[in-house]
Amino acid sequence: MESVARQAAKSVIDLLFPPLCISCRAPVSEPGAFCSKCWQSIRFLDGAMCECCGLPFELDPGPQSLCAACLANPPNFDKARAVMRYDEHSRGPILALKHADRLDLIPGFARWLQRGGQSLLADTEIILPVPLHARRLWARRYNQSAELARLLGRMAGKPANFDALRRARHTPSQGAMPSAGARRRNMRGAFQVPDGHKSAIAGRNILLIDDVLTTGATVDACARTLKRAGAAKVFVLALARVVRPLAGDII
């Protein structure tokens, strides 16, 4: 009876507020979805890729292959994956979530993260979001990575912890950094595991949630901090990633 009432309520809501494509705003069958045209334009990352950082390969070099960057400069995280490429087709909805209060996008994005991160979630014990500094959180009012982590944890049956990793200092925006090296320097000492939360991290497999991976400097700094606090493994799962291989960079 409850499910019938819930379905009836959903029908009324859909009638009053019909679900729209999260990119072009065309009508769709359910909230948080792309229309068929926009869906076809999204470049999902599900082919051959670096076993460590998830950089897509143009040609399949075989299983367990690593990209040149991970071979030359192994990152602190154990494995990173992203759902799709960050490009002109995916950028709009992701920026809307990040800067335009579009929290209605969280359920759809969380489903994508669960689907794209199944292999990581299987070995995950705790989910953590990449934290914002208190000053930036106050200005933005919410942390999109924390909201994604919260719902993903519920869906996957994994505990999410929002206090075990924090920003120890306010840093300039990574987008303002001129190079990958500058991004890494910007992140030095930026994160901290508070003493009261180290026992929750020690010996555990951690899944870090972020919205976009660009050079990977932020999640790598998070992983370094978590490993120093005793984490067994640190995985990274993001909605999207910039695919721009540069020699010597952590992607």
Q: Look at residue 249 and tell me if it is in a domain.
A: no
pLDDT at 144: 94
CA distance 206 to 215: 20
Per residue in 150-189, pLDDT tens?
999 999 999 999 999 998 876 656 555 555 666 666 666 7
Residues 53 and 34 in one domain: no
pLDDT at 49: 94
Residues 70 and 105 in one domain: yes
CA distance 10 to 245: 45
Contact 11, 30 (CB under 8 A): no
Contact 206, 56 (CB under 8 A): no
Is the alpha carbon torsion for 106, 111, 114, 117 positive or negative? negative
Residues 66 and 109 in one domain: yes
pLDDT at 6: 55
Q: Look at residue 251 and tell me if it is in a domain.
A: no
Is the alpha carbon torsion for 105, 88, 172, 70 positive or negative? positive
Q: Look at residue 246 and tell me if it is in a domain.
A: no
Count of structural domains within the chain = 2
Q: Which two tokens stand for residue 52?
A: 């460590």
Q: Look at residue 214 and tell me if it is in a domain.
A: yes
CA distance 207 to 222: 11
Contact 227, 76 (CB under 8 A): yes
Q: Look at residue 73 and tell me if it is in a domain.
A: yes
Residues 165 and 70 in one domain: yes
Residues 92 and 16 in one domain: no
pLDDT at 32: 75
Q: Look at residue 187 and tell me if it is in a domain.
A: yes
Domain region containing 58? 43-241
Residues 49 and 133 in one domain: yes
Give the side-chain half-sphere CA count within 13 A for 190: 23
Strand (E) or helix (H) holding 146? helix 144-156
In 3D, which of 236, 237, 226 has the Cα closest to residue 204?
A: 226
CATH number of the structural domain spanning residue 146? 3.40.50
Q: Look at residue 250 and tell me if it is in a domain.
A: no
Q: Look at residue 109 and tell me if it is in a domain.
A: yes
CA distance 144 to 134: 14
pLDDT at 176: 54
pLDDT at 250: 43
Residues 67 and 143 in one domain: yes
- Per-10-residue mean pLDDT, the chain, length 251: 51 61 84 84 92 92 91 96 94 90 91 95 97 85 94 97 88 58 67 93 97 92 96 98 61 41
Contact 251, 219 (CB under 8 A): no
Residues 64 and 85 in one domain: yes
pLDDT at 148: 97
pLDDT at 177: 53
Residues 11 and 58 in one domain: no
